[in-house]
Amino acid sequence: MEKYMIGGVHALELTEKYGSPIYVYDTETIKRKFFLLKKAFSKIPHRIHYAVKANEAPEILMLMKDLGAGLDTVSPNEIRRALKLGFKVTDIIFTPSCPAINEIKFALENGIRIHFGESEYFEELGDLLKGVEVGLRINPDVHIEGNQKIATAHADSKFGIPLNQLPAVKQMEEKFGFKVVTLHIHTGSDVKTWQDLAKSFDSLLLQLPAFNNVNSLDIGSGLKVKYNATDHEIDLDAYTKYIKDKLENLGKSINIILEPGKFLVAEAGTLLASVNVIKQGYNKRFVGLNTGSNHLIRPMYYEAYHHIINISNMDGKMHIYDVVGQLCEEDTLASERALCEVRAGDILAIQNTGAYGYSMASFYNLRDKPRQILVENSAHRLISEDMVVI
Ligand code: LLP
């Protein structure tokens, strides 16, 4: 039978050794994606700040550090982890959403660059901002194709400062003596076309003349991942050519900041789970796994597609199943999915789960989180084991 390999390791050996469910990450895939992005942006002055929220495993953050990336953080604990791992304060950006004022003060005290997504904090912080360099995350009200649940730059999104508030921010910049050095936009996650990302980039450029001290534009992420066979990744060459041409016409030197999460780690991760039961419903045949939305919430939360393979029976006859979890919830991981015949005890590989898989996992129903395994140079090791405290 054909063997399902992850980073040169037979996946069934991993479940034999570590049990299931497990998240397995292949470092080679992360490196490949990182260098792909670097190459595409090679003609543009840029810095990659990996979005920690996608997968915050210290081993993955260390890999990003070794590759030369900085980090994009959204909470004090993400900042603490970054500092603990030896990232310099200048390698860290803090882009919180509706943070507590003390969280902002924590970042300020540590000298971490904050990208403000709300203008309401400036008055309250007042003199604490004197001489501080900040970024502004704007909301230009752009509409994009794709999953609206993860679109974040339209008028009804909570993210970013509406354009009509920017003149007031400008006044506060003078009043309190802070310096806006970065304009930031994150259009959404999994954006379908580079043209949509380009629209967002243009909206940053439009604001440039109003802010004299700006020396960098943070274009967030949104770089799409191929979850489904019919998905297209963003045309990086077209996107970077667009950015490069626009920057050349500016007559001012501007650095680009990127904050990829998914693009770097999604494909590197696989959730391996065992089949508890094959259950016949009225109309459907269910594959009941020893995982669920507690470990991978994306299908239920975003109607996200994750490709699934029965790695215990790779040559089996195809049948149609609904793949479900074991939570006391309708936690469907895949509907009407063609899989090689599935039997109790088989191991299924749920692909592209390196981003927002484990990081969004919970202890719901008092079930343990999956162990996490890192595969590196055809060797593997356990990197986390997070059990319910009874
Ligand atoms: N920068 C900012 C400011 C962000 O809010 C995000 C994601 C990123 C960068 C990274 O975006 P990425 O490259 O991963 O698309 N949990 C959802 C995605 C929500 C992401 C939230 N912010 C999912 O599983 O699809």
Residue nearest to atom 7 of ligand 1 (CA): 189
Contacts of 314 (CB under 8 A, 6+ apart): 1, 2, 3, 4, 340
189 CA distance to ligand 1 centroid (A)?
5
199 CA distance to ligand 1 centroid (A)?
18
Nearest-atom number in ligand 1 for the CA of 95 is 3
DSSP state of 360: G
Long-range contacts of 4-10 (CB under 8 A, 24+ apart): 4/309, 4/311, 4/314, 4/349, 6/270, 6/375, 7/375, 7/376, 7/378, 8/375, 8/377, 8/378, 9/375, 9/378, 9/379, 9/380
In 244-331 the beta strands, taken as DSSP E runs, fall at 255-258, 269-280, 285-289, 308-310, 318-324
Pairing of strands 46-51, 255-258: parallel
**Cis peptide leading into 45, omega within 30 of 0?**
no
Residue nearest to atom 20 of ligand 1 (CA): 189
- What does the pLDDT read at residue 148? 86
Nearest residue to 263 via CA among 102, 19, 30, 82 = 30
- What does the pLDDT read at residue 176? 97
> Which residues form the pocket of ligand 1, taking CB atoms under 6 Å from any ligand atom?
51, 54, 72, 95, 150, 186, 189-190, 220-223, 259-263, 298, 302, 355-356
Residue type, 28: E
- What does the pLDDT read at residue 150? 87
Phi, psi (rounded to 5 degrees) for 178: -90, 170
Give the CA distances from residue 41 to residues 184, 235, 266, 390, in Å, rounded to whole numbers and listed in that order. 18, 12, 20, 49
Residue nearest to atom 15 of ligand 1 (CA): 189
8 CA distance to ligand 1 centroid (A)?
29
Nearest-atom number in ligand 1 for the CA of 220 is 1
Q: What is the DSSP string of 300-315?
A: HHH-----EEETT-TT
Nearest residue to 323 via CA among 346, 357, 355 = 346
Nearest-atom number in ligand 1 for the CA of 137 is 3
101 CA distance to ligand 1 centroid (A)?
23
Nearest-atom number in ligand 1 for the CA of 298 is 24
Predicted confidence pLDDT, tens digits, the chain (390 residues): 789 999 999 999 999 999 999 999 999 999 999 999 999 999 999 999 999 999 999 999 999 999 999 999 999 999 999 999 999 999 999 999 999 999 999 999 999 999 999 999 999 999 999 999 999 999 999 988 878 888 999 999 999 999 999 999 999 999 999 999 999 999 999 899 999 999 999 999 999 999 999 999 999 999 999 999 999 999 999 999 999 999 999 988 999 999 999 999 999 999 999 999 999 999 999 999 999 999 999 999 999 999 999 999 999 999 999 999 999 999 999 999 999 999 999 999 999 999 999 999 999 999 999 999 999 999 999 999 999 999
Domains observed in the chain: 5-24+266-384 (2.40.37.10), 27-260 (3.20.20.10)
The yes-or-no answer on residue 328 being catalytic is yes
- What does the pLDDT read at residue 146? 79
By most ligand atoms within 8 Å of CB, the mutation choice from 183, 219, 221, 305 for ligand 1 is 221
Per annotation, catalytic residue among 167, 280, 328, 366:
328
Residue nearest to atom 23 of ligand 1 (CA): 356
190 CA distance to ligand 1 centroid (A)?
8
- What does the pLDDT read at residue 338? 98
Residue nearest to atom 18 of ligand 1 (CA): 189
By most ligand atoms within 8 Å of CB, the mutation choice from 189, 197, 259, 350 for ligand 1 is 189
Helix (H, G, I), strand (E, B) or coil at 71: strand
Residue nearest to atom 22 of ligand 1 (CA): 189
By most ligand atoms within 8 Å of CB, the mutation choice from 56, 149, 259, 264 for ligand 1 is 259
- What does the pLDDT read at residue 251? 85
250 CA distance to ligand 1 centroid (A)?
29
- What does the pLDDT read at residue 52? 98
In the chain the beta strands, taken as DSSP E runs, fall at 5-6, 9-10, 22-26, 46-51, 70-73, 92-94, 113-116, 133-139, 161-162, 179-184, 216-218, 255-258, 269-280, 285-289, 308-310, 318-324, 332-340, 347-350, 371-376, 379-384
Indicate the pTM of the whole model.
Answer: 0.98
Nearest residue to 354 via CA among 59, 92, 39, 74 = 59
Nearest residue to 161 via CA among 146, 189, 193, 183 = 183
160 CA distance to ligand 1 centroid (A)?
14
186 CA distance to ligand 1 centroid (A)?
8
* 47, 258 contact by CB (below 8 A): yes
Helix (H, G, I), strand (E, B) or coil at 68: coil
